[in-house]
């Protein structure tokens, strides 16, 4: 993949293109942004031309992934080498591509998932000390209950604690009734995508909350496991999902009080 300067990127506009001339490809493009990465313990400052490219993608996704990779490399420069960050971001993108029907936000979702994965891996490998409480919400398909719980957690914790969600058998898309029910109270979970848990995230969690999958959830030493008995919203309409949403919200708030993230009202 050829590199072009950031000036060239800024010159791209209507009627202009950096389309590559790769044989057999007329719709793909090749764009690389130069990265200025400071030295760290494992950060490598090397010839930029040696940086591995992403596969040929549409221009907007290619550029978005390049920028995402730059942000992730700077964030994890003392923890992981460039190849590790690249592989994580590319595999995250591939996972969402396989299940997404609306590709618009794929680079954003891939960056978010990759960042959480690398955070978990850093904690698991002892490269980063645990400071904020970390919770993993698990349900069977990561389409309803665990996504609702994650939405409440992020909304209430305001960055003072870390949470992930995952499923044992991820669905192709979120439960639309769950998305609508959360939107009613001002919490947008619509950009989420069902995804499978990883051992790195499982081992990095302080608490693993299971909903409907406790009997088949993988057990690893370290986290405290908590089972929430909550009805599965799959196949239910919004009216039926609201009580489930409210119950999960109460439980998440109680959990955050227990973790000293929220004050007792």
> Which pLDDT tens digit goes with each residue over 31-57?
333 333 343 444 333 333 344 555 544
Q: Determine the pLDDT at residue 97.
A: 78
CATH number at residue 208: 3.40.50.2300
CATH number at residue 105: 1.10.8.1060
User: Do residues 145 and 244 share a domain?
Assistant: yes
User: Do residues 181 and 214 share a domain?
Assistant: yes
User: Do residues 141 and 247 share a domain?
Assistant: yes
Domain tally, the chain: 2
Q: Determine the pLDDT at residue 27.
A: 40
Asked if residue 153 lies in contact with residue 137, where contact means CB atoms within 8 angstroms, the answer is: yes
Place of tokens 């002892």: 126
Is there a domain that residue 69 lies in?
yes
Is there a domain that residue 265 lies in?
no
Is there a domain that residue 75 lies in?
yes
User: Do residues 119 and 146 share a domain?
Assistant: no
Handedness of CA 45, 48, 49, 55 (dihedral sign): positive
Output b/e per residue, 166-187; b: 16+ Cβ within 10 A. Answer: bbbebbebbbebbbebbeeeeb
pTM: 0.59
- The residues annotated as belonging to the active site are 139, 213, 217
User: Do residues 229 and 176 share a domain?
Assistant: yes
Q: Which of 98, 124, 150 is the last residue of a domain?
A: 124
Is there a domain that residue 129 lies in?
no
User: Do residues 150 and 237 share a domain?
Assistant: yes
Q: Which of 100, 124, 148 is the last residue of a domain?
A: 124
User: Do residues 120 and 139 share a domain?
Assistant: no
What parts of the chain have a pLDDT lower than 70?
Answer: 1-59, 99-102, 128-131, 265
User: Do residues 174 and 235 share a domain?
Assistant: yes
User: Do residues 19 and 46 share a domain?
Assistant: yes
Q: Whole domain around residue 117: which residue ranges?
A: 6-124
List beta partners, residue 209. Answer: 137, 226
Is there a domain that residue 93 lies in?
yes
Is there a domain that residue 144 lies in?
yes
Give the 3-state secondary structure of residue 211.
strand
Asked if residue 187 lies in contact with residue 151, where contact means CB atoms within 8 angstroms, the answer is: yes
Q: Which of 95, 124, 153 is the last residue of a domain?
A: 124
Cα 138 from Cα 210, distance rounded (Å): 5
Is there a domain that residue 264 lies in?
no
pLDDT, tens digit, 9 for 90 and up, residues 158-184: 988 889 999 989 999 999 999 999 999
Q: Determine the pLDDT at residue 227.
A: 95
Chain-centre distance for alpha carbon 193: 9
User: Do residues 144 and 116 share a domain?
Assistant: no
User: Do residues 110 and 10 share a domain?
Assistant: yes
Is there a domain that residue 35 lies in?
yes
User: Do residues 14 and 113 share a domain?
Assistant: yes
For the chain, the first-to-last Cα distance in angstroms comes to: 56
């Amino acid at each position: 993949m050829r590199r072009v300067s950031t000036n060239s990127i800024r010159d791209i506009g209507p009627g202009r293109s950096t389309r590559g001339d790769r044989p057999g490809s007329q719709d793909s493009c090749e764009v690389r942004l130069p990265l200025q990465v400071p030295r760290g313990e494992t950060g490598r400052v090397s010839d930029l031309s040696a940086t591995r490219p992403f596969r040929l993608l549409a221009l907007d996704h290619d550029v978005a992934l390049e920028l995402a990779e730059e942000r992730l490399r700077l964030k994890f420069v003392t923890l992981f080498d460039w190849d590790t960050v690249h592989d994580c971001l590319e595999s995250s993108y591939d996972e969402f591509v396989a299940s997404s029907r609306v590709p618009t936000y794929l680079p954003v979702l891939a960056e978010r998932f990759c960042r959480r994965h690398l955070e978990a891996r850093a904690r698991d490998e002892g490269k980063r000390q645990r400071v904020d409480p970390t919770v993993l919400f698990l349900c069977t398909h990561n389409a309803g209950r665990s996504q609702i719980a994650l939405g409440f957690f992020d909304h209430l914790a305001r960055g003072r604690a870390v949470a992930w969600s995952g499923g044992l058998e991820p669905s192709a898309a979120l439960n639309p009734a769950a998305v609508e029910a959360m939107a009613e109270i001002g919490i947008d979970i619509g950009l989420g995508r069902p995804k499978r848990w990883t051992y790195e995230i499982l081992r990095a969690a302080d608490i693993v909350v299971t909903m409907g999958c406790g009997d088949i959830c993988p057990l690893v030493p370290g986290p405290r496991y908590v089972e929430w008995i909550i009805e599965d919203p799959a196949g239910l309409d919004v009216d039926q999902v609201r009580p489930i949403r409210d119950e999960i919200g109460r439980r998440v708030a109680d959990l955050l009080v227990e973790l000293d993230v929220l004050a007792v009202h």
